[in-house]
Amino acid sequence: MLCHSTCVIAHTFQHCLRLGKFGPGLKPSSMHEMRTWILKEEVANTDSLMKAYKASWKTYGCSIMSDGWTDGKNRSIINFLINSPIGTMFYKSIDASDSIKDGNLLFKYLDEIVEEIGEENVVQVITDNHSSYVSAGKKLMDKRKRIYWTPCAAHCIDLMLEDIGKMKIYFETLEKVRTVTKFIYGHGIVLSMMRSFTNNHELLRPVVTRFATSYLTVRSVYKQKNGLIAMSASEQWCSCSWAKKPKGIKVRAIIVFDPKFWPHVALCVKSTMPLVSILREVDSEERPAMGFIYELMDLAKEKIAFNCNDVKKRYVPIWNKIDERWTPQLHRPLHAAGYYLNPQIRYSDKFSTHLEIKRGLFECMDRMIPREEHADADIQLDEYDKRRGDFGSLLALETMRKRSPGNL
């Protein structure tokens, strides 16, 4: 098991890099120094950095986040990070190669970390949506009565995009776009030609998630539509030996002669970019997503319908794919409570008073607040609703749209 010594090693490595900047005149640290007093200094340094984070857990609560990946030796590693309003801190890594698909063992790991952090400090545990994590999350909530298990929003939205990508029009369009980009980026001469016709704009986009990247590439292709058509009809293309190959002929046929290609590319862009935008939002640390995800999903669906000119046969299948993931996975009491308790939303004209939102809030209060404190919480909630007391102060009103809800 790898603990926060990983951070220490990283700091020690940075220490070595700093020493290297002084040039050949500096005597390097010995191996003995590196693993004794220098290492101890870095351990103390890391512990000092962690104190402020740990103090915030007691004040604001925290979220335990797991992030699985496979290393160069094909081991399944799970990183655990702790998030609070002051930031995210790496906590530890474990080798879960023998248990990544075992819900009972995953529950054991999650439960141990909750114990180490302190159950009273933990609001939620966030994992991906794999069935083994779903099982572990349910077991954790059964044992830890004040804690929520929450599926990762980014993973859930990526799965929505994957589901949409399996629909006939989207699947065929994504395949055609892959054919075009693979051919262009697979041949240096063609790539150079493409860049000259698109003013050095790229088609491939940096990775966000697997399926978001696919749709971002589709959008880039759509933006360079005129350049790609001009390239495919140019003398340079006709004189290029690669363009005369079967794959080159196929690519030109897609770009120039396929009557469905560009309309379907436009449809893919209009109906998926609102979801990709949410994915970028929840995957960033600019503001806490918990208080916004509920509204973001509603706005995304409205935007998709608008982009499809409110033609039901175009947007309803997309809505259905979203709801198939949103309802059982992300439609959580904690998200409803975050929506309600976010003053940026609660005090806006578009705030929804739907019964399920208030019900989600009360469910969170029942689970997370001791019974003897319910009356006080209810009084505070009433003041919050009516913007009385501190909630109605000039400072609160002036800053509520500028600061995250956790820091108001």
Domain boundaries, the chain: 5-151
User: What topology is assigned to 5-151 in CATH?
Assistant: Nucleotidyltransferase; domain 5 (3.30.420)
Contact 208, 279 (CB under 8 A): yes
Write the DSSP symbol of residue 326.
I
Nearest CA among 146, 139, 107, 83 for reference residue 364: 146
For residues 130 and 33, give the distance between their C-alpha atoms in angstroms, rounded to a whole number: 45
* Element containing residue 90 per DSSP (H, E): strand 87-95
For residues 326 and 188, give the distance between their C-alpha atoms in angstroms, rounded to a whole number: 43
> Can you give the pLDDT of all 408 residues of the chain as single tens digits?
344 444 545 555 555 555 556 566 667 778 877 878 888 888 888 778 788 888 889 888 999 999 888 877 888 889 999 988 888 888 888 888 877 778 888 999 999 999 999 999 999 999 988 888 889 999 999 999 999 999 888 888 999 999 999 999 999 999 999 999 999 999 999 999 999 999 999 998 766 677 888 999 999 999 999 999 999 999 999 999 999 999 999 999 999 999 999 999 999 999 999 999 998 888 776 666 778 888 899 999 999 999 999 999 999 999 999 999 888 877 788 888 989 998 888 888 888 888 888 899 999 999 998 889 989 998 999 999 988 888 888 887 777 776 656 554
For residues 310 and 166, give the distance between their C-alpha atoms in angstroms, rounded to a whole number: 22
Query: Hey, which residues does 88 pair with through a beta bridge?
Result: 83
- Predicted local distance difference test score (pLDDT) of residue 68: 81
Residue 77 structure tokens: 């590693």
Contact 200, 250 (CB under 8 A): no
For residues 37 and 39, give the distance between their C-alpha atoms in angstroms, rounded to a whole number: 5
Contact 308, 315 (CB under 8 A): yes
Q: Which residues are within 8 A (CB) of 61 and not within 5 positions of it... i.e. 6 or more apart?
A: 84, 121, 122, 123
Backbone torsion region of residue 84, taken as left when φ is above 0, otherwise alpha when ψ lies between -120 and 50, otherwise beta: beta
As a whole number of Å, the end-to-end CA separation of the chain is 38
Query: C-alpha angle 211/212/217, rounded to 5°?
Result: 100
- Predicted local distance difference test score (pLDDT) of residue 15: 55
Query: Hey, which residues does 82 pair with through a beta bridge?
Result: 64, 89
Tell me the pTM.
0.81
Q: Could you tell me the strand order of the sheet in which 87-95 lies?
A: 87-95, 76-84, 62-70, 122-127, 148-151
Residue 125 sits at φ, ψ, to 5 deg, of -120, 125
